[in-house]
């Protein structure tokens, strides 16, 4: 079976983010890596390589970015990376990214596509299910368990107040929740291989992808909406009484 992982390169969680003076843009510190949930997806694919003899591939899309994420996936053990690298993907709409990834996945038949449930930069969670829709695949989101069973896959996932098990006929697309797999730390051999690997690239024109228009940005602003914290002094009983008074009379939330 062939398993393809959708990977996104994102700014590090600790990267500094600044709104430019006039609110027209964002400056994000260039510390980047493989998205947290995509690392879990990569690990889930590698498990299938071990248990089912699956071949593994990773596809990503970006404008001049994505190589770091791809190298990480290769270092972990992914065999075939492919990057859609196109200036037209700069600030692109989610649907354009999804179309690009779907076209890249479709270059070779895949039995299972695994994506992270969302990326840590925009937390949107849109691209995985969009790719499923574009490719006409059944889709299950937020998997915490994944088991191949003949021509189908059993997916366990958390729902409000419990869990459910779904059966999807293959080919299918699944998105990974924390708990699906514990991502391995690449060994020396993997890291060396990833440093040397040439990441194959393609572009939107080659894939025949039509861009979806970008939603115009009106403005960016920093959080700054929360005034400085008001510290409440005193012994626990005193502080608690004052806190409740403020929550009632000032914040008006009690």
Partner 1 sequence: MSGFYVICEARGEEFRPATYELLAVARAITATTGGEVTAVVAGPEVTLKAKLDGLAHRVLALTAPELTPFSADPWVEALGVAIAAVTPRAVLFGEGGRTREVMPRLAARLGAWALTNCVDLRVSGEGTGASDEGAALEISRPVYGGKAYVTNTVPADGLLLAAFRPHSFDAGMVPAGLTTAVEEVAAPVAASRVELVERREGGTRKADLTEAAVVVTGGRGMKGPENFGLLEDLAAALEGAVGYSRALVDAGLAEHAYQVGKSGKTVSPTLYIACGVSGAIHHTMGMDTAKVVVAINTDPKAPIFEYADYGVVGDVLQVLPALTEQVRAATS
For residues 36-65, which are near partner 1 according to CB under 8 A?
A: 36-37
Strands 17-19 and 26-28: antiparallel
Indicate the residue among 80 and 120 with the shorter CB distance to partner 1.
120
Peptide bond into 171 cis (omega under 30): yes
Indicate the residue among 35 and 56 with the shorter CB distance to partner 1.
35
Q: Encoding tokens for residue 89? A: 């993907």
Indicate which single residue of 189, 192, 195, 240 sits in contact with partner 1 (rule: CB under 8 A).
240
Only one of the segments 42-50, 67-75, 180-188, 227-235 lies at the binding site for partner 1 (rule: CB under 8 A); that segment is 227-235
Rounded to the nearest whole angstrom, what is the least distance from the CB of residue 50 to partner 1 in the complex?
A: 24
Indicate which single residue of 142, 143, 183, 186 sits in contact with partner 1 (rule: CB under 8 A).
142
**Beta carbons of 155 and 169 less than 8 angstroms apart:** no
Residue 94 to residue 123: CA distance in whole angstroms: 12
Q: Binding mask 154-183 vs partner 1 (x if CB under 8 A, - otherwise)?
A: x---xxxxxxxxxxxx--------xx----
Binding to partner 1 by residue 220, rule CB under 8 A?
yes
Binders of partner 1 among residues 65 to 104 (CB under 8 A) are 93-95, 98
Q: Quick one: three-class SS letters along 73-122?
A: HHHHCCCEEEEEECHHHCCCCHHHHHHHHHHHHCCCCCCEEEEECCCCCC
């Amino acid at each position: 079976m062939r398993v393809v992982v959708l990977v996104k390169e994102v700014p590090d969680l600790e990267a500094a983010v600044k709104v430019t003076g006039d609110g027209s843009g964002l400056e994000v510190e260039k510390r980047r890596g493989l998205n947290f949930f995509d690392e879990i997806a990569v690990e889930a694919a590698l498990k299938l390589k071990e248990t089912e003899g699956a071949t593994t591939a990773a596809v990503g899309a970006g404008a001049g970015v994505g190589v770091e994420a791809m190298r990480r996936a290769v270092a972990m053990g992914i065999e075939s990376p492919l990057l859609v690298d196109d200036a037209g993907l700069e600030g692109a709409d989610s649907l354009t990214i999804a179309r690009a990834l779907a076209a890249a996945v479709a270059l070779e038949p895949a039995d299972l596509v695994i994506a992270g449930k969302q990326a840590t930069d925009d937390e949107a969670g849109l691209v995985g299910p969009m790719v499923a829709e574009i490719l006409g695949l059944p889709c299950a989101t937020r998997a915490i368990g994944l088991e191949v069973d003949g021509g189908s896959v059993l997916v366990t996932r958390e729902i409000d107040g419990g869990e459910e098990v779904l059966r999807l006929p293959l080919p299918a697309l699944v998105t990974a929740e924390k708990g699906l797999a514990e991502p391995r730390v690449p060994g020396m051999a993997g890291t060396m291989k990833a440093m040397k690997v040439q990441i194959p690239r393609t572009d939107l024109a080659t894939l025949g992808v039509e861009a979806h228009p970008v939603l115009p940005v009106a403005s960016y602003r920093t959080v700054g909406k929360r005034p400085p914290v008001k510290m409440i002094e005193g012994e626990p009983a005193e502080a608690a009484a004052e806190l409740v008074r403020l929550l009632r009379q000032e914040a008006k939330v009690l």
